[in-house]
Amino acid sequence: MIEIKQVSKSFKGHHALQSINLKIEKESTVVLIGPSGCGKSTLLRLIIGLSEADTGMILFEGMKVERQDFLNIRLRMGYVIQEGGLFPHLNAYDNVTLMAKYLKWDNNRIEERIHKLANLVRLPHDKLSQFPIQLSGGQRQRVSLMRALMLDPDVLLLDEPLGALDPMIRVDLQKDLKAIFQSLGKTVVIVTHDIREANYFADTIILMKSGQIVADGRMKELEGSPDPFVIRFLNAQIGMNND
- Contact positions vs ligand ADP (CB under 6 A): 11, 14, 16, 36-42
Choose which of 41, 95, 174, 204 interacts with Mg ion (CB under 5 A): 41
Virtual CA dihedral for 86, 87, 89, 94, nearest 10 degrees?
A: -80
Residues written for the chain = 243
Q: Which does 39 bind (CB under 5 to 8 A by kind): ligand ADP, Mg ion, none?
A: ligand ADP
| Rounded Cα distance, 99 and 54, in Å | 29
Name the residue nearer to ligand ADP (CB basis): 19 or 72.
Answer: 19
Name the residue nearer to Mg ion (CB basis): 118 or 190.
Answer: 190
The yes or no reply on residue 192 touching Mg ion (CB under 5 A) is no
Q: Which does 11 bind (CB under 5 to 8 A by kind): Mg ion, ligand ADP, none?
A: ligand ADP
Bin 27: left if φ > 0, else alpha if -120 < ψ < 50, else beta: left
Shortest Cβ 185–ligand ADP spacing (Å): 27
Shortest Cβ 85–Mg ion spacing (Å): 12
Shortest Cβ 52–ligand ADP spacing (Å): 12
| Rounded Cα distance, 143 and 122, in Å | 10
Give the binding range for Mg ion (CB under 5 A) out of 35-43, 117-125, 167-175, 213-221.
Answer: 35-43
| Rounded Cα distance, 152 and 157, in Å | 13
Q: Please report, for the chain, how many H helices and E strands are present, in that order.
A: 9, 10
Tell which residue, 8, 63, 28, has the closest CA to residue 206: 28
Q: Which does 142 bind (CB under 5 to 8 A by kind): ligand ADP, Mg ion, none?
A: none
Q: Provide the binding-site residues for Mg ion, judged by CB under 5 A.
A: 41
